[in-house]
Every structure is written in C-alpha cells, then in structure tokens.
Chain A
Amino acid sequence: DVKVTQSSRYLVKRTGEKVFLECVQDMDHENMFWYRQDPGLGLRLIYFSYDVKMKEKGDIPEGYSVSREKKERFSLILESASTNQTSMYLCASRLPSTGAMFFGPGTRLTVL
C-alpha cells in the first residue's frame, strides 16, 4: 500500500513565524500536491509538483512556498504565518498513469 506521511498531526504557531510542513511518500510517485481543507470550501490546491525540483502554483498559492529536493519529499512553507492560514493541510501523491491520488492523514495547523 502507498503510504503518505505528514510530519505533524497538530501544530500551533504564532503569527509571523515561519512554518514548515513536511510530507513523505514511499511509492516513488512523481506527482505530489498540497491542499488545504476548510469547512464549506472543500479542498483547495495550494501547490503541486510533477517531479523533483519542479513546482507549480495551484489555486491559492499566496502566502505559501514549496520545496521538492527529493522525489519522496514535498515541503510546504508558510513564510510568515497569519491567522487566516489556520486550516487542515493535506498532502497527496499520485502515479500519473493511474490518476488516483493518495493522501496523508493531514496536519491541523492553528495560527494564534
């Protein structure tokens, strides 16, 4: 089974802090994604990466950046956390030939 792990299940940070959310997948998938999930809004795509060193903006990239130095790891960075970035963050990976995505358990981030 594909396994996608995220570094923390729960995280509390202060406004202005730099925040790193880590995601690791163990099935050699080329594609990786970061979503945020908010009540009533569903899942919104922040950034995605089709392969190592590659990154593409999703629908809501403002206030975020990403890093993909190795195929298995995709990091989401909040350069200066703000309260409106309080959310559930979901990482996913995908083998392009199948189209199906595999999600991690999520990180619930609270910014005070």
Chain B
Amino acid sequence: GNSVTQMEGPVTLSEEAFLTINCTYTATGYPSLFWYVQYPGEGLQLLLKATKADDKGSNKGFEATYRKETTSFHLEKGSVQVSDSAVYFCALSPGTASKLTFGTGTRLQVTL
C-alpha cells in the first residue's frame, strides 16, 4: 500500500537557519505529493504541492522537489523565522480524486 515516512522531530533551529525536513514515500505509479502545515491551535493548511516527477512546489519561501528516482519530497527553506514554528506533514495521493495518505508530522521549533 501507499505510505509516507517523515523524519522524526522535533527540529529546533535558530532564526535564519537553513531548514530541511525529509520525506520519502512508497506508492505505485506517479502520485501527487503535498506538504501541509499546522500552526498551533489550527487545522492543516496546504503549503505546496507537486504533481509529477521533477516538479518543484514553492510557497512562502518553502520549496520541495518531486524526486521519482529517490521517491522523496524533502521540504527546504533557506532562512526560517520564528513564525514558521509549526507541525509539517508530508502527504501523497495516487490521483487527484483519491484519498491522501499522511506522514506522522514533524514539529519545527524556531528560536531567536
């Protein structure tokens, strides 16, 4: 079946540090890949997505590239801010009309 594996958190960084949160997946075919963010006390929000191999999703300074050869979709940001502190979820969908499979989430804590 489909599955998503994320690096375990929490990840603690100082402001302006470089961020990488690893995500790998198992799926047949070419799933769509997503990153969602959950700020404290809120529901999940779509951060970015990629629908085919070598696509790069980007939003709010975050980027992730769909790597079919390594089945990965790592999230990166060049300079994090305190306001980026949240839980980040990687997810996949075999097709746009299919249900999503989520990773367990990675908590990011950014300090001054």
* Contact across chains for A42 and B49 when beta carbons are under 8 A apart: no
Contact of A43 among B32, B46, B89, B95 (CB under 8 A): B89
Q: How large is the interface on A (under 10, 10 to 19, 20 to 34, 35 or more residues)?
A: 20 to 34
**Which residues of chain A in 13-62 are interfacial with respect to chain B, using CB atoms and an 8 Å cutoff?**
31, 33, 40-43, 45, 48, 50, 58
Indicate which residue in A45, A48, A103 contacts B45 across the interface (CB closer than 8 Å). Answer: A103
Task: Write the nearest CB–CB distance from B50 to chain A, whole angstroms.
Answer: 11
B-contacting residues, A68-102, CB 8 Å = 90, 92, 96-102
In the assembled complex, the CB of B23 is this many whole angstroms from the nearest CB of chain A, namely: 12
Q: Which residue of B lies closest to A108 (CB)?
A: B41
- Residues facing A in B82-99 (CB within 8 A) are 89, 93, 95-97, 99
Q: List 22 A-B contacts (CB under 8 A).
A: A4-B43, A33-B99, A42-B103, A43-B44, A43-B102, A43-B105, A45-B99, A48-B99, A50-B97, A90-B43, A90-B44, A97-B96, A99-B93, A100-B34, A101-B44, A101-B46, A102-B46, A103-B36, A103-B44, A103-B45, A105-B41, A106-B42
